[in-house]
Amino acid sequence: MMVLASASLYFAILVSARASDTCTTDETSLLQGAGWKNQKDVVRRRVATPLLREVQPPDMPAFTDPDESTAAPNEPNDGKFMRRVMLDELTYGDIGGKCLGPQTPWVGSDYANPMAGYYYGRGTSNLWIIFLQGGGYCAGQDDCDGYYTGNKLTRFQYETKPGVGLLESDNMDLDEDFRNAHRVFVPYCTGDLHLGQVVTPSDGCEDNNPDNCCEETYRNLTNPTADCFNQGGLYYSGHLNLKNILHHIFSNQPDSRDMTQVLFSGSSAGGAGVIGQCDWLKTMLSGGSRSLIGELGMPPVQVSCAPVAGFFQTGYADDHVDEMQGPSLYHHWSGYYKPGPPQSPNQLPRETSLEEEKAISIAKVRTYDQYLEPRCSRAYSGEEWRCSSMTVVRPFIRPRMHITQNKFDLLGAANRDLTWLHPCTSRKGPEYLAYLGHAMQATLKAQHALKEEDGLWLASCADHTDNLKHSSADSETLVQGISSLQAVTDWFFQRGNPDREIIDDCVRSDGSGLELPCNPMCGNDYAGRPSNQDTTCLCEGECGWPLPSSVDS
């Protein structure tokens, strides 16, 4: 799973990029991001042939007419359970409807199903909640092992399941409108942030001849436009799965034809998938000629998006002129490398260059054949890879959006190379976490100011999802007396608390001068902290708990 492996992959990609960069050195001013205020005009980019091959999505089959014989049955317990629905391999198997690999046989079956699917709970209103499951991300057979041979193969194991996230039964009791909504839960079985478009994965070998293979892989990408690329035979098809699931819903669930509203949500990798596909979903449900439902004669469906802990890459880093560029990697910013392979000497601190960020982003986009928002790609013509950043793509998202996020997101920190869950085991770890937190808040505040109808709930916590109530019931954090669930509920139904920007205004009192977690109601899962200690504690000497024995050098 890339949560832990991404840092070493980043390093391998950067080394490869430096050794094999053959692009022209001619440079011109970077096209300014559409809709952005105060964008600095000194950003520069390379001008070259397109760095990403164009991906043509497969044609969809004709819709069939749904009726009660094709509908998923109601479930017991007042409809709080959802029924498993698998995509039909004959209809969807050749158009991107698969998981990375065959899933573990479910209870009562010996068949390892290669197909994706969803869980559906039938409602009585015209509101549909679509929730994308999270679970990290991966690239390559070794990194993705857990998605097709490990514990992530339980995604479809049971015929019915209770709701999660906004679909949890407790949340349904909170609000009558949520309780009556139709619920669609999309299990995460592709490792691609729900954004991949791979229909026929390449193993990098012509005619399956092991003596005639190329070496273009995620770890060693020298030519992003190469026809020969090794995807390890894995079906990174998350985006196509969602498209096929929508097609299946409109072909089989009769209530779908009365759909008027969609609340599109997801957590972690699912939240990233929501950000990346929010505008696409609006287009698909617009009712126009280019939409998925255009031929059904349905009126446009109103789409609202509510990602949770999905803002993996911010901008507005203190050490970059380009406000759209992601923060520097930990080992560049601090000058320290983590122990273990590849062994590298410490060096003088520096910022991560845009060329290095490009190498990382292109490798991921090329591996997944990742869906990129078209209007963003046109605005960044020649640098379409930048649209894989949440910061860059968000100005192009038309539906209203509510973001639930921890200011010091530990998964985001790990993906920038800081030790996972143990910020104090890395030298300058707390300082780097403060650097990332400042960038997170600056980015989200700047973007929130662009659209009055958007919402933001930002907790001063070092956590990923465990303290976010409508992502997990493990614990509940309040910001200005409001939970994340209450914030998104008030925002969506446009009632209750009128403040659409809810940000922690607490201040740490330890005298460090660092901008670090200060909310006393954060979770208790990180850095080995004893559960009975103050949740704002980070390092040795704070609240009486010790520093772990291993420190990076």
Phi-psi region of 200 (alpha: psi -120 to 50; beta: other; left: phi over 0): beta
pLDDT per residue as tens digits for the range 101-122: 766 655 566 666 788 999 999 9
Query: What's the chain's Rg over C-alpha atoms?
Result: 23
Per DSSP, the residues of 476-512 read --EETTEEHHHHHHHHHHT-S---SEEE------SS-
Q: Would you give the DSSP letter of residue 280?
A: H
Confirm if 233 and 203 have CB atoms less than 8 A apart: yes
Separation CA 190–CA 205 (nearest Å): 22
Q: Report pLDDT for 33.
A: 29
Q: List Cα–Cα distances, 180 to 169, 184, 197, 469, in angstroms.
A: 11, 13, 33, 20
Question: Are the beta carbons of 236 and 196 closer than 8 angstroms?
Answer: yes
How far is 36 from 39, CA to CA, in rounded Å?
Answer: 6
**Distance in angstroms (rounded) separating the CA atoms of residues 442 and 448:** 10
Please say whether the beta carbons of 119 and 266 come within 8 A.
no
Amino acid found at 243 = K
CB 53 within 8 A of CB 368: no
Q: Which candidate, 471, 498, 475, places its Cα nearest to that of 485?
A: 471
For residue 388, the model assigns a pLDDT of: 95
Report the C-alpha gap between 176 and 173 in whole angstroms. Answer: 7
Counting as low any pLDDT under 50, the low residues of the chain are 1-50, 77, 339-343, 472, 474, 525-533, 541, 543-553
Q: How many CB atoms lie within 10 A of CB 1?
A: 18
Instruction: Give the tokens for residue 75.
Output: 């479930």
- 265 by DSSP, 3-state: which? strand
Do strands 455-463 and 501-503 pair parallel, antiparallel, or not at all (unpaired)? parallel
Query: d(Cα 64, Cα 398) in Å, to the nearest integer?
Result: 30
Within 8 A by CB and 6+ apart from 186, the residues are 118, 130, 131, 132, 133, 194, 241, 242, 245, 266, 270
Tokens 């030519």 — which residue? 223
* pLDDT given at position 422: 62
Name the DSSP letter for residue 424. G
Helices (H) and strands (E) in the chain, counts: 15, 14
Query: Which pTM was predicted?
Result: 0.85
Average pLDDT, rounded, for the chain: 77
Q: Residue written as tokens 């390092």?
A: 539
Burial of residue 67 (number of CB atoms within 10 Å: 0-12, 13-18, 19+): exposed
